Amino acid sequence: MKSKIEAARLQFETDLAKATTSEEIENLRIAFLGKKGLITDLLKGLKDVSVEEKKEIGKDVNILKGFVAKSIEEKQTELKKAEQEAKLKSAKCYDITAPDNLELGTLHPISLVQREVEKVFVSMGFTIEDFSEIVDDYSNFEALNIPKHHPARDMQDTYYLDNGQLLKTHTSAAQNAIMKKYGAPLRVIFPSRCFRNESIDASHENTFFQMEGIMIDEDISISNLIYFMKTLLSEVFKRDVKVRLRPGFFPFVEPGFELDINCEICGGEGCPTCKHSGWIELCPCGMIHPNVLIEGGIDPEKYTGFAFGLGLTRLAMMEYGIKDIRVLNSGNLKALTQFDTRNI
Ligand code: DAH
């Protein structure tokens, strides 16, 4: 009888190790503890044992019974937990508050042109950087050769925070930090939202997007600047666009230029979007002023560079024929969703 009990224990341990589902464990419970189960049989067999042996063997069978019941319960709990976790993992998140008829979104026209321009510059070895929209006076003005009380500040009034910080007026605000972070040589673009305290009309907004780019190396000249600007425009417009380069003043470049493109809304005849001039200022640019390089920790004796501040908002308007800048921040989905032609 003792060897039968031992055999039953061994059998149970082997079977238990093999059981991997709740169902298999339940079958095991029936096979050992059920009415016709192995342990029930052993208990029934006690009647054939001598009175002296009955006490000890009865105790052994009961110990085995307790062991089997406890092991089954533990394994059952363990398995249920694992099954539940697997179920949760494979289940899709279900948000009962979400409307069930949501259409796929589209990219905003500014995001579309931003991606296009990024692709062009990345293919020419530029990296893309990000920078805060809230900056200090130093980054936005002083590091760019615009000291306090410089008249150039008048053209860039913005929104000031109580702590003296401000909403950046141009992407140029990131130039200094990026120069300090990477040093020279450097090829980088950094798109961002910018802000100005402007009266709003068809071509002015208080919130707009620019993409700044800088390239710094030995022997960089205006020819490099013109080459990159031409490549950019032909890649983005994929057609001939009339361009003009004229001198422009920005304290952080010397010489500085205004790069204008023929107004794509009126074809150059004059309209409210181009303020009736036939031209749109798209990409002011120039050779980085030595003071700005020095402030960024770069030796102007060894390195030169160009910088540009591409008006992403204006580029989107020209590319998609959007007459009024106010549409872009309007949230008017009828107007804004018609430009994304990707297959999504
Ligand atoms: N930050 C200037 C603005 O928003 C634009 C600009 C002009 C950027 C010349 C440049 C530059 O990088 O070289 O008015």
Task: Dump pLDDT digits (tens) for 298-314.
Answer: 999 999 999 999 999 99
Q: What is the pLDDT of residues 117-165, one digit of tens each?
A: 999 999 999 999 999 999 999 999 999 999 999 998 888 999 999 999 9
Report the atom number in ligand 1 closest to the C-alpha of 175: 12
Q: What is the pLDDT of residues 195-205, one digit of tens each?
A: 999 899 988 89
Task: Output the CATH code of domain 109-339.
Answer: 3.30.930.10
CA of 284 to the centre of ligand 1 (A): 5
Res. 296: pLDDT tops 90: yes
Q: What is the pLDDT of residues 22-56, one digit of tens each?
A: 888 889 899 988 888 888 888 888 888 888 888 88
Mutate to test the pocket of ligand 1, among 170, 176, 220, 260 (most ligand atoms within 8 A of CB): 170
Res. 19: pLDDT tops 80: yes
Residues in the chain: 344
What Cα–Cα distance (Å) separates residue 142 from each residue in 137, 180, 187, 189, 310? Answer: 7, 15, 23, 21, 21
User: What's the rounded Cα separation, in Å, for the pair 147 and 138?
Assistant: 9
CA of 104 to the centre of ligand 1 (A): 36
The most confident of the ranges 177-191, 255-269, 309-323 is 177-191
**Which pLDDT does position 37 carry in this prediction?**
87
Q: Which helix (H) or strand (E) holds 279?
A: strand 279-281
Counts for the chain of helices (H) and strands (E), in that order: 11, 10
CA of 7 to the centre of ligand 1 (A): 88
For residue 160, which amino acid is it?
A: Y
Nearest 5°: phi and psi at 144?
A: -105, 25
Between 145 and 229, name the one with better pLDDT. Answer: 145
**Which pLDDT does position 232 carry in this prediction?**
87
Q: What is the pLDDT of residues 239-279, one digit of tens each?
A: 778 889 999 999 999 999 999 999 888 989 999 888 899 99
**Nearest C-alpha to atom 12 of ligand 1 is from which residue?**
308
User: Mean pLDDT throughout 73-94?
Assistant: 81
**Nearest C-alpha to atom 7 of ligand 1 is from which residue?**
284
The position carrying tokens 């998140």 is: 93
- Residue 233's pLDDT band, with cuts at 50, 70 and 90, is confident
**β pairing state of 134-135 and 207-217:** unpaired
- CA 76, 77, 81, 87 torsion-angle sign: positive
The position carrying tokens 């055999």 is: 7
**Which pLDDT does position 94 carry in this prediction?**
67
Full-prediction pTM beyond 0.75? no
User: Mean pLDDT throughout 211-239?
Assistant: 91
User: How much is the mean pLDDT over the chain?
Assistant: 90
Identify the residues whose C-beta falls under 6 Å from ligand 1: 170, 172, 212, 250, 253, 256, 284-286, 307-309
Domain(s) labelled CATH 3.30.930.10 in the chain stretch across: 109-339
User: What's the rounded Cα separation, in Å, for the pair 176 and 173?
Assistant: 7
CA of 210 to the centre of ligand 1 (A): 9
Mutate to test the pocket of ligand 1, among 194, 282, 308 (most ligand atoms within 8 A of CB): 308
**Nearest C-alpha to atom 11 of ligand 1 is from which residue?**
285
CA of 152 to the centre of ligand 1 (A): 12
**Nearest C-alpha to atom 8 of ligand 1 is from which residue?**
309
**Which pLDDT does position 80 carry in this prediction?**
84
CA of 280 to the centre of ligand 1 (A): 15
CA of 308 to the centre of ligand 1 (A): 6
DSSP letter string, 20-76: -SHHHHHHHHHHHHSTTSHHHHHHHHGGGS-HHHHHHHHHHHHHHHHHHHHHHHHHH
Q: What is the pLDDT of residues 103-119, one digit of tens each?
A: 778 999 999 999 999 99
What Cα–Cα distance (Å) separates residue 140 from each residue in 136, 162, 176, 196? Answer: 6, 17, 9, 12
